[in-house]
Amino acid sequence: MEKNKQQKSDLLQGFLVPANVSEPTLFPFKSVEEFFVTLEVSKDELNRWFEKGWISFEPGKHAKFDEAEYLEAEFVKSLAQSGQSDEWITKLLSTLEPPYSYNIRNMAYSFATKCWVQVPTEEEIEEIITEHLDGYLSVLPEDELEELKETIEGLLENECDD
C-alpha cells in the first residue's frame, strides 16, 4: 500500500476500512441524460472532475453509465459541494484507492484521525460481535457477567411473551 493511503491502524475503533464498488452492474442507467438528471450534475462539471483526476471515467466518451460510476460521481459531488478547496479535495481523495466509487451514505472523513471510515452494516456488526464475543466475555469480571446474564434472560422472557 502506498504510504499516503490510510492504514487499518489509523481508523477509529468500531469503523471499517472503506471499500469501493468497482464492478459494473447488470442494469446501467437507461441513458446518459438519466445519469446526469439523477446525479444533478452537469457534464461540464464531471469533465472538470475528470481533468482534476477526481473521477476515473471521461464523461464525454460514455454512451452508458453504471452504478459504480454513479457512486464515484456522487461521492466526488459530495466533496465538491462541501465548500472545501480543490487542493483539499485532492488531498482527501489521495488517501483512498481509486476509482472513488464509495457509498457516501456509509462513509465519513474523521478530521481527528485524518482518515476515511466506513460505518459497518448490521451484518458486519453481527460478524464482528460473533468473532470477538468470546474474548470479550472471558475478561469481564464475574459481577458484570452476572448482570449481562440477567439482561439476556430478561430479553428472552420478553421475546417469549410476544
How many residues are present in the chain?
162
Per-residue exposure over 7-21, b if at least 16 CB sit within 10 Å of its own CB, e if not? eeeebeeebbbbebb
Q: Are residues 75 and 110 part of one domain?
A: yes
DSSP annotation of 109 reads: E
Indicate whether this model's pTM tops 0.95: no
Q: Are residues 135 and 70 part of one domain?
A: no
Residue 22: the pLDDT is 57
Contact between 10 and 113 (Cβ < 8 Å) = yes
Say whether 85 sits in a helix, a strand or coil.
Answer: coil
Q: Are residues 38 and 71 part of one domain?
A: yes
Q: Phi-psi region for residue 2, left (φ > 0), alpha (ψ -120 to 50) or beta?
A: beta
Residue 44: the pLDDT is 93
Please report whether residue 2 resides in a domain.
no
Q: Are residues 49 and 115 part of one domain?
A: yes
Please report whether residue 84 resides in a domain.
yes
Residue 42: the pLDDT is 92
Residue 124: the pLDDT is 84
Please report whether residue 106 resides in a domain.
yes
Q: Are residues 98 and 26 part of one domain?
A: yes
Range of the domain at 133: 123-161
Q: Are residues 110 and 33 part of one domain?
A: yes
Q: Are residues 138 and 59 part of one domain?
A: no
Q: Are residues 128 and 115 part of one domain?
A: no
Please report whether residue 1 resides in a domain.
no
Please report whether residue 54 resides in a domain.
yes
For the chain, state the CA radius of gyration: 21
Q: Are residues 86 and 99 part of one domain?
A: yes
| CA distance linking residue 159 with residue 58, whole number of Å | 54
Say whether 143 sits in a helix, a strand or coil.
Answer: helix
Report phi then psi at 77, rounded to 5: -55, -45
Number of domains in the chain: 2
Q: Are residues 128 and 58 part of one domain?
A: no
- Tens digit of pLDDT per residue, the chain (162 long)? 444 455 544 555 566 666 666 555 555 666 788 888 889 999 999 999 999 999 999 988 877 888 889 899 999 999 999 999 999 999 999 999 999 999 888 888 988 888 898 888 888 888 888 888 888 888 989 999 999 999 988 888 887 776
| CA distance linking residue 153 with residue 157, whole number of Å | 6
DSSP annotation of 11 reads: S
